[in-house]
Structure 1
Amino acid sequence: MGLTAKLFIVAGLGAAFLVARWKDPAFDVESLKGARVLVTGASMGIGEQIAYHLAKAGAQIVITARRGHVLEKVVQKCLDLGAQKALFIPADMSVVADPDRVVTFAVDQLGGLDYLVLNHIGPSPFAMWDGDVEHVRWLMQVNFISFVQMTQKALPFLEQSKGSLMAVSSMLGKVCSPLALPYTATKFAINGFFGSLRHELAMKKSNVSISVCTLGLIDTESAMEKIKPYSDMPGHPASEAAWSIIQAGAKRQAESHYPSYTYYAGLFIDFVPSLRDYMIQNLYHYEP
């Protein structure tokens, strides 16, 4: 492809982006009042911030993560912030029965489901891959298969409410990157599954919307600790990332990107492969 053709493509993509932004649907925070929401991975970080935003909007919330004693504190703060209802259920998404159990609990306690926010991740080292296949298998269950299980269980209830599902993904689900191979694989899987599911639901004229939410580096304590030895990249506020996810579901957007560089990187990442690879490999400090 010649340079002129590439420039036309870039201009066209830029124009498409601007049109999409101008047509961005309005978001009424009042629409969240009384909404029945299940949020996973809500004991800390982005999930915790999602719960607090929803609480301020007067939603009804069920949160889940592994540590019940931490969830209890988050629930109390949600009630203090104005949640109509806030409940928690401890669960381990590596246990095959737990994803279904969590959805059943949420539906029983809330009387249905308007939003499902799939946000949880399992711990994984940020380092060169050591060949541990079992860890990859375990992480795939936690970060991806459990998403699929919860989706299958929740879809009939979301169909009834004309609800929305938000699957939290990452820029590492679009860009092959070193030092996070198991994690990157699970995020690519999320993008592929939920992007394809969105097409199928549209073809079936389903009432359910699917939003794949792509995040860059967020300033959660765990993320910043992991990346610190390898990179000086700044993190972005977890509270803002959480709000972008909520808006994506409420506005029934197919995709959302936070911060904005994740959108542009997705557009241009394959434009010049050799430059892409050079930039990725030189983004991190690594001494063999």
Structure 2
Amino acid sequence: MGYGLKMSLALSAVVIAYLLMYSGTKFDPADVQDKKVLITGASSGIGKQMACHFAKMGANLVLTARRENLLKEVIEKCKKLSPNPTASHAYIVADMKELEKTKEVIKFSVDSLKGLDILVLNHARIPKMFDMWFGSQQNLTDLATDMDINFRAYVHLASHALPHLLKSKGRIAFVSSVAEKIPIPGVAVYTASKHAMQGFFGVLRQEMVMRNTGVSITSCMVAGTGTEQVMENLQESEGETAMDFHLADPTVVALEIVQATVARQYEVYTSSDILTSILVFLGKISPELADQLTMKAFFG
């Protein structure tokens, strides 16, 4: 198959996938009013913006992250944004590498909100760019840490929350990454954690359907987004050229996730540049060619 034909097929796949993923999605902001929502990783970036969107729609919120000073700022902003004078806004400080904290987070949330309707799993340990795998002790240490934070904590939180979500026929959203679809050199551990997440929640989604629970699970595939942490990592590794990266607006990405979650959408690919879209869907047609284009895009 010629290169031109492959590229044409890739572009066609992007268009078809877009139509399939976004057609028929029914989002009604009124569905958010008075809902009881827990968001992890909510002190900055996409999590912070999701909290603001939910607040504007009148939700009751519990936010969690490691940095209390930032959580307080987000909570105060949510209170100002909320049109609901009786809405509850609370936070709990937790480091998700401490897995025993996950049970405490869910208990605090359920006690504060008097139940739980929506669980948004968003926290992550963002990797430094191009941290190659050499099989070193540091690599293995990073593997253990990343799998705890980026995968096992998600499973623990969802497990502790499930009895409450079954009662409310609630929603789970887990924030994943297109890194799970595009094997980018230098982020092996992060990518592995996203693969594990997709595998677990994909099966859990099927089991929720089999048991007729009414609980929906939305996979949120996030591409390059200009969050504070991502920009810091890029500037550290790329210097002044970091600004050349075409990254999505966290506010837009957060709204796309909120809308997909509330609408009980199966999966959402958030805003991204055309190259990322091509690489994701070309990988389904010709993985070898997708790998070659990825190497060229990231390493010239």
After superposition, give the CA deviation of every residue in 1:120-148 in whole Å (9 maximum; x if it has no partner).
01243222235320111011000100000
Give 1:270 shift: 3.3
- The aligned residue for residue 33 of structure 1 is 33
**CA displacement 1:243-287 (0-9 Å, x = unmatched):** 11111110001100111656654332131233211111122248x
CA contact (8 A) 1:143 1:186 kept: yes
- Whether the 8 Å CA contact 2:11–2:278 is kept in 1: the answer is no
Q: Find the aligned partners of 1:280 and 1:145 in 2 and give their Cα distance.
A: 29
1:146 to 135, 153, 173: 153
Equivalent position SS for 1:214: strand
* Aligned twin of 1:94: 97
Q: Report the residue type matching 1:99 in the other structure.
A: T
RMSD between aligned residues? 2.5
Give 1:175's aligned residue: 182
What secondary structure does 2:116 align onto?
A: coil
SS of residue matched to 2:42:
coil
Secondary structure, aligned partner of 2:62: strand
Query: Paired residue for 2:115?
Result: 112
- Say if 1:19 and 1:45 are closer, same or farther in 2 by CA, change over 3 A: closer
TM-score normalised according to structure 2 size: 0.86
Structure 1 CA distance for aligned equivalents of residues 15 and 22 of structure 2:
11
Q: Which of the residues 199, 224, 227 maps onto 1:192?
A: 199
User: Hey, what does 1:122 align to over in structure 2?
Assistant: 125
- CA gap 1:10/1:150 in 2 versus in 1, 3 angstroms: same
CA distance in 1, matches of 2:248, 2:16: 27
Tell me what 1:71 maps to.
Answer: 71
The residue type equivalent to 2:66 in the other structure is R
Tell me whether 66-75 or 160-169 shows the greater mean CA deviation: 66-75
- 1:149-194 Cα distance to aligned partner (Å, 9 max, x none): 0010111111111110000000001221112121111111111111
Q: Secondary structure at the match of 2:34?
A: coil
List alignment gaps of at least 5 residues for structure 2: none
TM-score normalized by the length of structure 1: 0.90
Taking a change above 3 Å as real, the CA distance of residues 12 and 236 of structure 1, as seen in their structure-2 partners, is: closer
The answer on 1:224 being equivalent to 2:236 is: no
Q: Secondary structure at the match of 1:38?
A: strand
Please, which runs of 5 or more residues in structure 1 have no aligned partner? none
Going from structure 1 to structure 2, the CA distance change for 1:8 and 1:35 (only over 3 Å counts) comes to same
Is 1:173–1:189's contact at 8 Å kept on the other side of the alignment? no
Question: Residues 223 and 270 of structure 2 are in contact (CA less than 8 Å); yes or no, is this contact kept in structure 1?
Answer: yes
- How many residues align? The count is 284
Whole-angstrom CA distance in 2 between matches of 1:80 and 1:8 = 48
* 1:248 corresponds to: 260
Range 44-53 or range 258-267, more displaced: 258-267
Task: State whether residues 222 and 269 of structure 2, in contact with CA within 8 Å, keep that contact through their aligned partners in structure 1.
Answer: yes
Distance 2:55 2:91 in 1: 14
Q: Residue 165 of structure 1 aligns to a residue in which SS?
A: strand
Give the structure with the larger helix fraction. Answer: 2
Instruction: Give the drift of 1:112.
Output: 0.6
Query: 2 CA distance for matches of 1:20 and 1:181?
Result: 28
CA distance in 2, matches of 1:18, 1:45: 28
CA contact (8 A) 1:170 1:215 kept: yes
- Contact 2:52 2:81 (8 Å CA) reproduced: yes
The 3 A distance-change label for structure 1 pair 10 and 221 is: closer
Indicate whether 1:279 and 2:293 are aligned. yes
Q: Which secondary structure does the structure 2 equivalent of 1:69 belong to?
A: helix
Inter-partner Cα distance in structure 2 for 1:63 and 1:19 = 32
Query: Structure 2: how far apart are the matches of 1:251 and 1:225?
Result: 33
| 1:9 CA displacement | 10
Amino acid at match of 1:269: G
Contact 1:173 1:190 in 2 (8 A): no
In the TM superposition, 1:32-71 aligns within 5 A as 32-71=32-71
